[in-house]
Each structure stands twice: as structure tokens, then as C-alpha cells.
Amino acid sequence: MLIDVLIAATWVAGVYLSKRIFSDMFTPLCVYVSTWCASLLLYRMRLVEYSVLEPKTWLLIAGGGASFCLGCVLSRARSNKSTSLQKRIIVSLPWLRPAILVLLVLDLIGFALFTERMSDTYGLGTYFTDPSIIRADAQEWTRAGAIGPLILLCYPLLACSLIYILESRKLSWLSAVGLIVPVAETYLLTDRLNLVTFGTCSFFIWIYHSKRRTLDRKVLCTLGGGLICFLAYFLSVGALYGKSATHASSSFQFSTLSRDSRLGLRMLDPYVYSTASFPTFQAAMRDVDRLSWGTETFYPLARILYGVGILERRPEASDFTFYFVPIPFNTYTWLYFFYCDFGICGAFFLPGLIGFLETALYRRMRAAPTIFSVAGSSAFAASTAFTVFGYIQYDFILWIFLIVMFIVSRRTCTEWNGYRATAWNELRSRGAVPPAWT
């Protein structure tokens, strides 16, 4: 009971600090505290008889959370700039349309090649008859090779299309296709988390673009409707993948829910995804026999270093090892990656560094919103919301997203285009530009 009170008090304190320091409910600090405290309170409900968390595990969870929050506060203390959102995002719509078109073409090329590969390996009919076969062979379909960067363009394509709709306040055929295609493509990747991540990022793009700071009625309705839609998608696709709890499932034999309740078994699946990472993190820590010194935390950089021959051991993006806690599960929270790299010190200090950087970008977005700062802050907010499960900040999908959005932002920024036009006119007045070019 005391632990429950402390978790609830921490949640309230986090929301209060967010409102007090940033005058906003949608800060990295508030997102982190809310998702972790909500998941921990669900875990404390004991709908599944999980392994009991040891004091060391609770200490790492508390230390990582305190570190992240401290990093957010220190980032605010280093800057006195106003965080009031400007009237409009800095973007040039005529430049954004061709950017969406280019991303759409490249994304379709990447997924066409990926679809051909999956068709040769499994047959496309398997996606509709028994996709659990593909899902179970994750080691195969997660190695996309050279077409990987093209496939990951679906994320920036979705963000650019949504920003165009929000900025222009109309739905064009190009922006509609830019939204529909990435959503449809998530089914080929057989990962339920992809669409939920896209949806969470889109929610924050809408929040930051519309300058919302509180949980008003419109925000609550949007959030509630989105949760219902994603829950329905999560359950339906989980049934196709053969991952839902059923009466015949031995994995859930330790559940305290009634075996006669179909609704209880259905709702057990999302409950497990929200809570099982804590005991699994504890179990996975026991198998860490040596430190990996940054290859987990900075995976994309480590993979590049391996490619050029500096690192001898090939780093992997994911560990698919299952631990029985007592049900089988294989996500360990983001603290596991820091613990693998730098031990207890990593779990204590690295969240603070990430919280500092995310808050710095958030404050820059509030002061001078661009496509990059709005989309980047939204993507980090989505990643922070899922730190309970894993460490999305290290993934190639986020790194490619940030690089592409930075390029798009520079090309579509009204200030940048104004600077280019001024420089071009100055060169032309000096006779440095041939007449044929003008």
C-alpha cells in the first residue's frame, strides 16, 4: 500500500512540476512520469502473479526516473528564453508538397522491394492466412539490409503529411496518401508497436502545432478515441499473430483472472504489455556478465563502427530472449540497455542526459517551431512514452526520422528560403548569375 501511495504521489508531483516550471502538460518530464507511474500502478494491481521486484530493481527504476526528471529541470534552468509558442510553425507549404512526394516515391520503392522479398520467402498469402509464421521468424524479416533506410521513410512521410494537413487546414490527395500508405505498411512489418508509435507521435504533432498546454475537452476526446482505436487494433492483430491469451494458452496459466471470462483474457494481453517489462528487466539483469560500453545505448553509431572494422563484435538492435516472470516476455524497459553498457551508473545517469537533450529540443520548439523541432519533439515524446518497454531513442527508425526531418525543415523553412532568395538576388545584381539561369 505504501508503494502505491508513493507512486501516485510521484505522478502528482511530476504533473505539478511540469505545470509549475514549463506551464505545460505535454513536456518530456510529464510524459515520462505519467507513463511510468501509470504502468507501475497497473503492475501493482497484480492481475498476473509476476515475480516480486527486488529492492535493487525498485532502486534502479526510481533512480532512472529521478535522473530523467532532473535532466529536464536542469535544461530549463540553463535557459531563460520564453517557451511561449509562436503564432505559426515556420514552414513553406509549396516546398513541403514536393518533399512529401519524394518521400512517398522512395518509401513505395523500399516497400515494393521488401514485399518482393517477403513474397519469395513466405508468400504474401501468409500475411492473411497465418501471419504468426512470419511474426515468429523475426530474425529473418528484421534484417532488411540495404532497403532498410527506404522502408523507414514511412515515419517521416507520415509526419510531413500530417504537418501539411494541419498547416494548410485541408486534405489533399497527396497528404491523404502520405497518411494512409505508412499506416497500411505497418502490417507488412508484423509489429503492433509501429502503428502505436506513429499514432502517439501524430498526437503530439497535433498538440504542439495547435499550441495546447492543458488536458482540455478536445484533447481528452482525441486521446480517448485514439486509445480505443489502438486497443482494438492491438487486440485484433494480436489475434492474427496468435499472441492473444486464450483458454488453451499455457503462457497465462498463472493469471489471477477468471478462466471463464473472455473479456478478461482479451484485456490481459495489453495489460501484460504495460506491466511485464518490470520483472523481465529484473530477470534479464541477472544474465549481464560483462559491460558492452555503449554499443547498446549508441547502437546506430556502434553499427557504423562495426561496418568500418573498428568494432570486432557485431552489435544487434534487439534481444529476443524470453524470460519467464512467470509468463514468457522479452522487453526489459530502456534501463536494461543503460545497465548493459555501464552498469548501475548507466541506469542512474544516462536517463538524465537524455532528459536534458529532449527538454532542450522541446524548449526550442516552443520558442521557434519548425518542422524539425515540432516533429522531433513529438517523436521523442512518443519514444519517452514507450521507455517502459524498450529504448526507441537508440533505434535507426528515430535517427533516420530526425535526419530526414532536419533536411525537409531546412528546405521548407520560410526563413531559410528567404535567405536563399536574398542571396540569389544579390548574386544576380552583381552579374554573377547568367541570364539563362534567371
Report the C-alpha gap between 251 and 253 in whole angstroms.
Answer: 6
Model-level pTM? Answer: 0.83
Asked whether the CA dihedral 135, 141, 143, 148 is positive or negative, the reply is negative
The domain locations on the chain are 2-408
CB of 366 closer than 8 Å to CB of 83: yes
Identify the sign of the CA torsion 89, 91, 93, 97.
negative
DSSP of 286-325: TT--S--TTTTTTHHHHHHHHHTTS-SSPP-S-----EES
Taking all residues of the chain, what is their mean pLDDT, rounded to a whole number? 80
pLDDT given at position 247: 44
User: CA 175, 106, 298: angle at the middle one, nearest 5?
Assistant: 100
pLDDT tens digits for 2-48?
888 999 999 999 999 999 999 899 999 999 999 999 999 999 888 88
Please list, in sequence order, all residues whose beta carbon lies within 8 angstroms of the beta carbon of residue 297, skipping any fewer than 6 positions away.
337, 338, 341, 342, 346, 350, 391, 394
Taking a C-beta distance cutoff of 8 angstroms, is the pair 364, 12 a contact? no
Question: Residue 259 is which amino acid?
Answer: R
384 CB-near residues (< 8 Å, 6+ apart): 28, 31, 32, 35, 358
387-425 pLDDT per residue, tens: 998 888 777 788 889 999 999 888 776 544 444 444 445
309: exposed, middle or buried (Cβ count in 10 Å: 0-12, 13-18, 19+) = exposed
Q: How confident is the model at residue 434 (pLDDT cuts 50, 70, 90)?
A: very low
* pLDDT at site 72: 93
pLDDT digits 0-9 by tens, 61-111: 999 999 999 999 998 876 655 455 455 566 677 788 889 999 999 999 988
pLDDT of residue 104: 94
State pLDDT tens for residues 282-331. Answer: 999 988 888 878 777 887 787 777 777 777 677 766 666 888 888 888 88
Instruction: Give the up-direction half-sphere exposure of residue 111: CA atoms within 13 A in the CB hemisphere.
Output: 19
Distance, in Å, from the CA atom of 51 to the CA atom of 326, rounded to the nearest integer, reads: 7
What mean pLDDT do residues 230-258 have? 60
